[in-house]
Chains A and B, each alone.
Chain A
Amino acid sequence: MTKTKSKKNSNFWERNRKSNGYLLKKSIMKYAVSICRFVLLFGMCFMILQPILNKISVSFMTEADLYNPIVISIPEHFTTENYLLAAELMTYSKTIVNSFVVSLTIAILQITVCTLVGYGFARFEFPFKKFWFACVMLVILIPPQTISTSLHLHFRFFDVLGIFKLLTGETINLRGSVLPYYLMSAGCMGLKNGLYIYMIRQFFRNIPKELEEAAYVDGCGTLKTFVRIMLPDAKPILTSCFLFSFVWQWTDGFYSKMFLGNIKLVSTSLARLSDTLGAYIMRITGANTTVSVAYSNCIVSTGTLMIIMPLIILYLFAQKGFVESLSSTGIKM
């Protein structure tokens, strides 16, 4: 081992001499570049991870530690009380189950529908195809906030062609129930669904046409070809879209606040956490005291950690699913 190394070393100087110092210059350059790169990347990675690390250290501190100027990152009085309090305030065990069920069902529904639509756009020729695809683009571009006012009213006074009004004399108030959001997801109008359609279409377009034609020649129907031939091929992009859909639904505040107000989800309860904390403190002390900013931030940080923990675990296991397939689709305009 050492022999080969020394041989290599002597070789290096010899080769360097032969190349008039060019080799030395080149390899110094190479090391300098990789050191610079390391410093840069380390700094940037630290910058991205720092808030999470900071939250972790804060979440184990007692209130006294927060005001102690000596304590920066390692708590003096180690405690897990913050977790218990945050869990109680968010009704963690209940909300996390709710969130899990809602995110999972919504993600499955959205991806199923988006796959169908994406496949339709990628593989069939029909009149007005360009027009409908322009509509998909429009869906991507319109911020949901623009139409949120009217959607609000649409579901407040929900009716299908006046049928319910005829039968019961009243429109249905669907606000506060889950149904509107499931309906919207079934119609590809959920959170970032246009994007999923676009990605899935792009993926299907890259699969060779011969595969499908062979199936048709062998007497496979359209639907059967789709299920048997195309779907297994599309697994990577479907996993990727599914993961995105799940994660974004998990943290989403906009649609959750608008449509799922009555169901307690982790995202909405996290957004309300500091108010809940204030109410809680007031209740136990009985006096009208305000919570200190530092303490409420500490609890919010703990809550945030508890909510992103499942996502981090998911990401650790399915990291490839997120990143690799996204880059393999080759998103282009």
Chain B
Amino acid sequence: MKKQKNKLAGLQKRKAISGYLFIAPFIIGFLAFMIKPFFQSLYMSFCNVQIGAGQFQPIWQGLENYRKTFLVDPEFNRLLVEEITRMMINSVAIMVFSFFVALILNQKFKGRALVRAIFFLPVILSSGVIIGLETDNALMANLAATIEETTSNVSISVAVEQILRTAGVGTRAFEEVFKIIDQIYDVAIASGIQIIIFLSGLQTISASMYEAADIEGCTKWESLWKITFPMISSMFLVNWIYTIIDFCMRSDNEVIDKISEVMVGQMDYGFASAMSWVYFLVVMAFVGVSAAIISKGVYYYD
């Protein structure tokens, strides 16, 4: 009996050792390239870092950098607030858009594979540096202006906006909605992965559920809210977090631009660290709070 137990423990130990061997690269990488820089950058944010010949000297100066971030620097507060609001609004828009597109793409029709391929294209083509180039393409803006002039300012969104305005619904919320509609291209190119994730979720729902609901006299609209929504609610959580993280890493992010300009241009490492920590903490807090709220509504079938 005892021997057997020993043997079992031995097997478990062997398994544990091989498990650790498998994840060893990650542990080493994590300790070497994540933990140390992580805490070092935290430490540097409290310091005045001076670069000398072949050495760098952090000099402790307490909260000076953070004071500078919030109170002295003229841009940072404004950029941070702008960027966070933009992130919130765009993330919501991306979620709604990708859910809607996934619902459409889940239906059966001719040419579905082609449409799917096109919707996924931006993941490949609008990543990294290219997205930064897109945003300041004056030629395209020129073209848009020309089109607008020649069509004498008739565009659907403007027309609808005017109708709603004169009808007296021109509240702030509507303005945000119109802003998103005008940026629908940005939303569409940022939602490739999310569409695929929603699609894979939709495909796991068994058709028999819809059939049963249909026989019981459920309309499509009802079954969307009563079946589809709860069944893929966990995807909402995944997508929400992914969208925010993706947004933080985009190269047209102004806060990041500011940080890297201070770091590379002015060589003020301490100040740059302080700013990136403030940004990181704000984003993390946002992710944490919103994920906690969403995960309360997540329904697990099994």
Contacts and interface: CB of A to CB of B under 8 A. Distances in A.
Given A47-B185, A151-B37, A145 B256 contact: yes
Nearest to B118: A45
A147 B132 CA distance: 22
A219 to B, nearest CB: 15
Nearest to A271: B129
Contacts of A170: 54
Most buried by B among A116, A124, A138, A154: A124
B209 interface: no
A124 B14 CA distance: 10
Interface string A33-62: 010011011001101110110100010000
Contacts, number: 259
A254 B256 CA distance: 11
Interface in B173-219: 184-185, 188-189, 193, 196-197, 199-201, 203-204
B30 interface: yes
Contact of B25 (A47, A117, A142, A148): A117
A298 interface: yes
Interface stretch (B16-24, B85-93, B162-170, B222-230): B16-24
A89 to B, nearest CB: 15
Contact of B133 (A45, A143, A271): A271
Interface of A: 34, 37-38, 40-41, 44-45, 47-49, 51-52, 54, 58, 66, 69, 72, 113, 116-117, 119-121, 123-127, 129, 132, 135-136, 138-154, 156-157, 170-171, 183-184, 186-189, 197, 222, 247-248, 250-254, 267-268, 270-271, 293-294, 297-298, 300-301, 304, 307-308, 311-312, 315, 319, 322-323, 326-333
Contact of B132 (A41, A271, A293, A298): A271
A126 B16 contact: yes
Given A132-B27, A153-B56, A154-B36, A301 B22 contact: no
Given A48-B118, A149-B272, A311 B124 contact: yes
B79 interface: no
Contacts of B34: 135, 138-139, 142, 147, 189
B277 interface: yes
Contact of B200 (A49, A52, A116, A326): A326
A170 B283 CA distance: 39
Contact of B115 (A45, A125, A145, A270): A45
Nearest to B256: A145
A294 B138 CA distance: 7
Given A145-B260, A149-B263, A253-B132, 11 more contacts: A51-B140, A116-B23, A120-B22, A126-B15, A127-B16, A145-B248, A188-B29, A247-B124, A271-B132, A327-B199, A331-B197
Contacts of B12: 125
A144 B249 contact: yes
B109 A142 contact: no
A270 B20 CA distance: 42
Interface residues on B, range: 35 or more
A69 B273 CA distance: 48
Of B22, B143, B201, B204, which is in contact with the most chain A CB atoms at under 10 Å from its CB?
A: B22
A131 B31 CA distance: 14
Interface string B233-256: 011011001000100110100001
22 contacts: A48-B189, A117-B25, A119-B22, A121-B23, A125-B12, A145-B256, A145-B276, A149-B41, A151-B37, A251-B127, A252-B128, A270-B133, A271-B133, A293-B138, A293-B139, A294-B142, A297-B137, A298-B139, A304-B133, A308-B130, A319-B120, A326-B196
A246 to B, nearest CB: 10
Interface string B39-67: 01100100001000011100000000000
Nearest to A117: B26
A323 B19 contact: no
Main secondary structure on B side of the interface with A: helix
B139 A323 contact: no
Given A132-B23, A152-B263, A267-B129, A187 B269 contact: no
A201 to B, nearest CB: 10
Interface string B133-148: 1100111101100100
Greatest chain B CB density within 10 A among A37, A44, A312 is at A44
A66 to B, nearest CB: 7
Given A124-B16, A125-B15, A187 B118 contact: no
A202 B229 CA distance: 23
A146 B200 contact: no
Contact of A323 (B196, B203, B245): B196
B25 A48 contact: no
A308 to B, nearest CB: 5
Nearest to A41: B115
B28 interface: yes
Contact of A34 (B109, B115, B196, B263): B109
Nearest to B146: A69
A322 B15 contact: no
B154 interface: no
Nearest to B19: A124
Contact of B139 (A117, A126, A251, A301): A301
A187 B28 CA distance: 6
A97 B241 CA distance: 36
Nearest to B295: A333
A150 B26 contact: no
A149 B188 CA distance: 32
